[in-house]
Amino acid sequence: MSLLAQTDLTEFATPDIAWSLLAPFVVMAVGGILLITITSVVPVLRGRGFPAGFTILTAAVSAWFCRSIWNGFAENGSQSIVADALAIDRMTIVVWAIIAMAVFLVAALFDGYLRRENFDGPEWYVLMLMSASGAMLMAAAQDLILIFLGLEILSIAVYVLAGLHLRRLTSQEAAFKYFILGAVASALFLYGIALVYGATGSTNINVIAGARAANDIGLNPVEDSSMVLAGMALMMIGFAFKVSAVPFHMWTPDVYQGSPTPVVAFMASAVKVAGFAGLVRVFWDGLGYYAPDWRPLISVLAIASLVLGSFMALAQSNVKRMLAYSSITHAGFILVAVHSLAGGSEGGLDSAEGVVNSVAGGEAFLFYLLAYSLLVIGSFGVLTMIGGRDDRGHNLDDLRGLARSRPVLAGLMAVLLFAQAGVPFTSGFTAKFRVILAAANSGSYVLAGIAMLAAVVAAVLYLRVVVSMFMVDAPAVAHAMTATVDDSEADAETEAAEDEADVVDPDRWARIPRPAMFAVFLAVFGTLVLGIFPWGENALREAAVEIAFLRQAG
């Protein structure tokens, strides 16, 4: 019946197979350690170019291994390795690939950013590689302990990254808040693990999934529903915090606004993706039996995130903060997909329709993760470039006239924003369309309706940014009352005069680092390709089919 159940404990002992299947993760972790070692031993390489190149190469190699593992699936199927602790299945590889892609693109953003902000040293890259390896561990782990381990490796590195802009107080503040609140969430999560362990006698997800089944036929005296439910509650909180679902989102705006912009690009993509992968792994693979219990809660979190995220975003004048709230809305969308994925269990995975809906939900889930990661890295990438020295120029007003002075950059940003707003022929449209259609097909019309409305409200805020970039003469949305420079006169001297009093670099848009531009260009390219062609369609569907059937397998 299942691929996983067939896995014999003696088989994984063959180290060859295990290592080759672990390669993307190992490359990432070892890459980080190697980088810090090399740069400590050979100080010459501490300069700016080498760490970036090394990181990009590491990510590329990791992605390449992901590809070769994927190609092996057709022959070998998915496997559990290292004493059943890690699942190398299609979802794992898709998520790993997304993480590797995020590292690749963000490393390109780091380079120009660090030059501009005058930081050197490889620690930014090292921390990102460590964090990425934690994220990969979390995505693949089949054991609650390992998931926690991955979560902490991931989180601690990101806490430090958030505070690495030493000259900015807000950066320190962001790191501090993130750390305090993250620690609380981690503690709750750990407690949840303990409760589930207490109830089922194991931390292994397959065993947990089997425990209930065994209990049903009177074989397992350990299982205790109240403890499982309490454990689920606490773990849910931990994941909700990581993916910043309302009401566990409070840290997000402050942290996104305060952290160095390229770090935000990483946080919003890789960290969230890993969080969602862990959520699905634990709740769907392990606790899928309890879907009727947790599924309604997912819908509540989704609705709260959709509504609050989009409305709060409207009230912001800082673009980073606005995108922080918009990422909360995106999280709401992804939760809707998770809700549809779990919907199969209510209609019964036995019914053909239930399976189709569940697969559609899984497909929407993976597609959204992929599309969203590209969008968010691209958007924060553009913000990185136009932020100016000290990473401050992120108010809506600072973007005014960007289309005139930097038409290409403004054009790319416009595509990314249109995509986030869900304009057809971009991945954003396809992603939202899939999510909403999957929700509607599985009968969650209210959820689908709210998702649609949220998409409409959110469209306004993206357009606001586009307007301020393209309409030089439009009155500044946020600071119309305080604007002193008359646009018509200032056109010629905007760049020179306007900002002299301000902290922002006079020609803040003058220097566009090529690697960062390349990264943003790739993100936009991916966004358009995903929106027009069904690139990777079959791959995602295979993965979704596997996810939909996983619970049955357990």
Partner 1 sequence: MLDLAWLIPAFPLLGFVLLILFGRRLGEPAAGWLATLAAAGSFVFTVIAFIGLLGEGTEERFHIIKLFTWLDVGSFQADAGLLIDPLSITMCLFITGVGSLIHLYSVGYMHGDPNFSKFFIYLNLFIFSMLLLVLGDNLLLTFLGWEGVGACSYLLISFWFSDESNASAGKKAFVTNRVGDFGFMLATFLVFVNLGSINYDDIVTRSGEMSANTATLVVMLFLLAAAGKSAQLPLFVWLPDAMAGPTPVSALIHAATMVTSGVFLLTRLNPLLAEAETWSTGLVAWLGAGTALFAATAAVAQNDIKRVLAYSTVSQLGYLFLAVGVGAYVAAIFHMVTHAFFKALLFLGSGSVIHGLHDEQDMRRMGGLQKLMPVTAFTFIIGWLAIAGVPPFAGFWSKDEILLYAWNYDEAQGKILWAIGLVTALLTAFYMTRQVILTFFGRTRFFDATAAEIDQGWENRVAAARAEADQAREAEQAAEAAMGKASADIAKKQEAVVKAEEKLGASDPADDKHDRLVKAMQKAEAAVVKAEEKASSLVAGVDTAVQQAKEAAGRVLALENQAQSAPRPAVVVTARTEAVELGEIADHMPASYVHRQEYHPHESPPTMTVPLLVLAALATVGGGLNLPFTKDLHFLEHWLEPSLFGHEAEVTSSAGTKWLLAVIAVTVALLAILSAFAVYLRGRRDPATIERPVLANAWYVDQSYADFFGGPGRVFFDMLAWFDRNVIDGAVRAVAQGSTWLGQGMRAMQPGFVRSYALSIGLGSVLVVVWFLGRLFV
Residue pair 461/314 in contact by the 8 Å Cβ criterion: yes
CB of 289 to partner 1, least distance (A): 13
The reply on whether position 253 binds partner 1 by CB under 8 A is yes
String of contacts with partner 1 for each residue 144-173, x by CB under 8 A: ------------------------------
String of contacts with partner 1 for each residue 427-456, x by CB under 8 A: ---x--xx--xx--x---------------
Give the nearer residue to partner 1 in terms of CB position, either 66 or 151. 151
The reply on whether position 49 binds partner 1 by CB under 8 A is no
The reply on whether position 237 binds partner 1 by CB under 8 A is yes
Number of residues that bind partner 1 (CB under 8 A): 49
- Of 89-97, 227-235, 415-423, 545-553, the window that binds partner 1 (rule: CB under 8 A) is 227-235
d(CA 432, CA 426) in angstroms, rounded, equals: 10
Residue type, 336: V
Which of 70, 511, 550, 552 is CA-nearest to residue 350?
552
CB of 542 to partner 1, least distance (A): 14
DSSP-assigned letter for residue 399: G
Residue pair 145/190 in contact by the 8 Å Cβ criterion: no
d(CA 389, CA 420) in angstroms, rounded, equals: 27
The reply on whether position 275 binds partner 1 by CB under 8 A is no
Give the nearer residue to partner 1 in terms of CB position, either 490 or 528. 528
Give the nearer residue to partner 1 in terms of CB position, either 100 or 371. 371
**What CA–CA distances, in Å, run from 448 to 90, 98, 431?**
27, 26, 13
- Of 104-112, 113-121, 138-146, 179-187, the window that binds partner 1 (rule: CB under 8 A) is 179-187
d(CA 424, CA 532) in angstroms, rounded, equals: 9
Is 351 exposed, middle or buried, given 0-12, 13-18 or 19+ CB atoms closer than 10 A? exposed
Give the nearer residue to partner 1 in terms of CB position, either 136 or 355. 355
Give the nearer residue to partner 1 in terms of CB position, either 377 or 431. 431
The reply on whether position 539 binds partner 1 by CB under 8 A is no
Give the nearer residue to partner 1 in terms of CB position, either 4 or 322. 322
d(CA 206, CA 203) in angstroms, rounded, equals: 9
CB of 254 to partner 1, least distance (A): 6
CB of 501 to partner 1, least distance (A): 26
**Secondary structure (3-state) at 247:** coil
Per DSSP, which regions of 397-468 are E strands? none
One of 240, 273, 338, 550 touching partner 1 (CB under 8 A)? 240
One of 36, 94, 234, 375 touching partner 1 (CB under 8 A)? 234
One of 63, 101, 232, 279 touching partner 1 (CB under 8 A)? 232
Helices and strands, number each (H, E), in the chain: 23, 2
Beta bridge partner(s), residue 143? 204
CB of 22 to partner 1, least distance (A): 34
Question: What does the angle CA 363 – CA 364 – CA 365 come to, to the nearest 5 degrees?
Answer: 90
CB of 290 to partner 1, least distance (A): 8
- Of 7-15, 16-24, 42-50, 242-250, the window that binds partner 1 (rule: CB under 8 A) is 242-250
Percentages of the chain per state (helix, strand, coil), in multiples of 5? 75, 0, 20
CB of 534 to partner 1, least distance (A): 5
DSSP-assigned letter for residue 490: H
The reply on whether position 185 binds partner 1 by CB under 8 A is yes
The residues in 371-430 that bind partner 1, with binding defined as CB under 8 A, are 430
One of 47, 49, 247, 449 touching partner 1 (CB under 8 A)? 247
Residue pair 65/237 in contact by the 8 Å Cβ criterion: no
Give the nearer residue to partner 1 in terms of CB position, either 136 or 208. 208
Q: State which H helix or E strand residue 332 sits in.
A: helix 319-347
The reply on whether position 534 binds partner 1 by CB under 8 A is yes
Give the nearer residue to partner 1 in terms of CB position, either 92 or 186. 186
- Of 136-144, 308-316, 496-504, 522-530, the window that binds partner 1 (rule: CB under 8 A) is 308-316
Provide the CA 350 distance to its chain's centre, in angstroms. Answer: 32
* DSSP string computed for 120-177: -STHHHHHHHHHHHHHHHHHHB-BHHHHHHHHHHHHHHHHHHHT--TT-HHHHHHHHH
d(CA 14, CA 26) in angstroms, rounded, equals: 17
The reply on whether position 188 binds partner 1 by CB under 8 A is yes
Residue pair 362/544 in contact by the 8 Å Cβ criterion: yes
d(CA 421, CA 334) in angstroms, rounded, equals: 15
The reply on whether position 223 binds partner 1 by CB under 8 A is no
Give the nearer residue to partner 1 in terms of CB position, either 105 or 312. 312
The reply on whether position 311 binds partner 1 by CB under 8 A is yes
Instruction: Enumerate binding residues for partner 1 (CB under 8 A).
Output: 176-177, 180-181, 184-185, 188, 225-226, 229-230, 232-234, 236-237, 240-241, 247-248, 250-251, 253-254, 293-294, 296-297, 308, 311-316, 356, 360, 430, 433-434, 437-438, 441, 457, 460, 532-534, 537
